[in-house]
Amino acid sequence: MGNNTEIKPFRVDVPQAELDELAGRLARVRWANELPESEVTDGIQKGPVQPGWEYGVPLEYVRRLVARWRDGYDWRAWEAKLNAYPQFTTEIDGQNIHFLHVRSAEPDATPLILTHGWPNSVFEYLDLIGPLTDPVAHGGDAADAFHVVIPSLPGFGFSGPTRQKGWNRHRTARAWAELMRRLGYERYGTHGNDAGSLVAPEVGRNDPDHVIGVHVTQLFSFPSGDPAELVDLTEEEQAYLDFLGSFNDDMSGYAKLQETAPQNLAHALADSPAGQLAWTAQLLATTDDDHVLTNATLYWLTNTAASAARFYYEDHHTDHPAEPTTAPTGLASFAFDFRPLRRFADRDHTNIVSWSEFDRGSHWATQDAPDLLIGDLRAFFRKLRGV
C-alpha cells in the first residue's frame, strides 16, 4: 500500500485568484444553442413551449444557475462548512486520499465509512454528520452513535487527480480498508450511495474480518441473461425490470461516455465552468441549487472532471469477482431511484439481512430524505449488534 502512512491535517483554503478567475470565465460564457420555442397544442392551451429535459440539461436552467453562481453563490460559506469538521489527507497505494474524520463523544460508537457518488462529493454527507455522531442531540439514542469517516473517492475533489491506472471499485475498497486500519478501527461498518454503492460491498468482500456490515442505497444487480431468471416474474417485478431497462437505455448516457472515452469530454469540462455545471446538473438537478453549484465549483477548482470520469472507465475495464458477497448487507431503496429486484440482489449478495423500500426520497436521499436514511442506518447496525 506504499510506505508513506502519515496522516496530515487538511484545511480548504482556495486562493482568491482562483475564484476571481472562475468569476471572469462566468462573465464570458458562450451559450449553447437549443431548439427554438415551438407552438404546441395539447387540447387545452396553445402557446410557446421551451424545450424540456428530453434533450439534456436545458439552456434556461444553465443560464439561471450561472447567474446565481456569478452573483449570489458564496463558495467561502461552503468552504467554511467543510472546514468546521476535521479533515486529513494520507497517501494510500500511491494515491492522495482526502477524508473527513469526525469522532463521536459516545465511547461505544460504531466506526462507519461513508462513500459518496458521482457527480457528488464529501458534501453529500455533511448534513448527516451531526445526527450520526451525536444521535442524542438529534432525536436518537446514544447506542446509535457512529464515528464517521468520509473520504473523497480517488480522483474526486481534494483526493484528485489520479495518476495511475486501475482506480476502480476494488482498488478503492482496498484503500478504504487500509484507511480504517490506519485510523485504528478494528471493526467498522461501511455505507455507500451511487458509486459508493459499488465500493461499499467490495470493502466487505476485501476486509471480512473487520467489516461489521455493508449498508447501501442501491444494489446494482441486473438480469444475467439466463431466461430462467425471468419466467415467473410478478407484475411488480416486471415493472421494476422495465425501469431497469429504461435506466440503462435512456438515463445512463453519461456513464457510457465515461466508461468508454472519458477524456473526450474532459477537455471541455476543464475549460468551461458552465460546461462543468451542466455536466454536474444532469444528475444533481433534483437537489437544491447550492448543492449543484458547490459540487460544480469543487470539480472546477480541483480540475477533477477527467479523473472522476476515469473511475467509470477503470471499473468498466476490469474483471469483477463472479462470487457473491457474504458480508451482512442492508439496502435502503428510495422511491425515485434505481429499484433492484430482490431475486437478482440475492444472487449477487448472499447475506442480505435488511431490505427497506421507502415511498419517498430519490437517488440523493441525503438531500431529500435524510431522516429515512439515518433511521435505516441506525436500525441496520442496531440489528447487527443485536440491540
The tens digit of pLDDT for each residue in 35-54 reads: 987 644 455 444 555 568 98
Query: What is the Cα–Cα distance from 78 to 342, expressed in whole angstroms?
Result: 39
Q: Is 252 within the bounds of a domain? A: yes
With b for 16 or more beta-carbon neighbours within 10 A and e for fewer, the 29-66 pattern comes to beeeeeeeeeeeeeeeeeeeeeeeeeeebbbebbeebb
Q: Is 219 within the bounds of a domain? A: yes
Amino acid present at 135: P
**R_g (Cα) of the chain, nearest Å:** 21
Query: What is the Cα–Cα distance from 67 to 62, expressed in whole angstroms?
Result: 8
Q: Between helices 169-182 and 195-206, what is the axis angle to 10°?
A: 60
CA distances from 222 to 93, 168, 225, 340, 378 (A): 31, 19, 9, 8, 28
Q: Is 65 within the bounds of a domain? A: no
Query: What is the Cα–Cα distance from 255 to 40, expressed in whole angstroms?
Result: 33
Residue 268 CB contacts under 8 Å (≥ 6 apart), including other chains: 275
Specify the pLDDT at position 252. Answer: 81
Specify the pLDDT at position 48. Answer: 53
Specify the pLDDT at position 236. Answer: 87
Specify the pLDDT at position 40. Answer: 45
Q: Is 308 within the bounds of a domain? A: yes
Joined together, the cell numbers standing for residue 179 give 484507511
Question: Which amino acids are annotated catalytic?
Answer: 194, 312, 363
Specify the pLDDT at position 245. Answer: 77
Q: Is 8 within the bounds of a domain? A: no
Q: Is 43 within the bounds of a domain? A: no
- Taking alpha carbons only, the member of 124, 119, 84 closest to residue 102 is 84
Q: How many domains in the chain? A: 1
Query: What is the Cα–Cα distance from 332 to 212, expressed in whole angstroms?
Result: 17
CB 351 within 8 A of CB 311: no
Q: What's the angle, vertex CA 166, arms to CA 164 and CA 169, rounded to 5? A: 130
Q: Is 66 within the bounds of a domain? A: no
Three-state secondary structure string covering the chain: CCCCCCEEEECCCCCHHHHHHHHHHHCCCCCCCCCCCEEEECCCCEEEECCCHHHCCCHHHHHHHHHHHHHCCCHHHHHHHHHCCCEEEEEECCEEEEEEEECCCCCCCEEEEEECCCCCCHHHHHHHHHHHHCHHHHCCCHHHCEEEEEECCCCCHHHCCCCCCCCCHHHHHHHHHHHHHHCCCCCEEEEECCHHHHHHHHHHHHCCCCEEEEEECCCCCCCCCCHHHHCCCCHHHHHHHHHHHHHHHHCCHHHHHHHHCHHHHHHHHHHCHHHHHHHHHHHHCCCCHHHHHHHHHHHHHHCCHHHHHHHHHHHHCCCCCCCCECCCEEEEECCECCCCCHHHHHHHECCEEEEEECCCCECCHHHHCHHHHHHHHHHHHHHHHCC
Give the domain extent around 293: 75-385
- Report, as ranges of residue numbers, the positions in the chain whose pLDDT lies below 50: 1-2, 39-41, 44-46
Instruction: Tell me the pTM.
Output: 0.95
Q: Is 18 within the bounds of a domain? A: no
Specify the pLDDT at position 41. Answer: 47
CATH code (residue 247):
3.40.50.1820
Burial of 376 (0-12, 13-18, 19+ CB in 10 A): buried
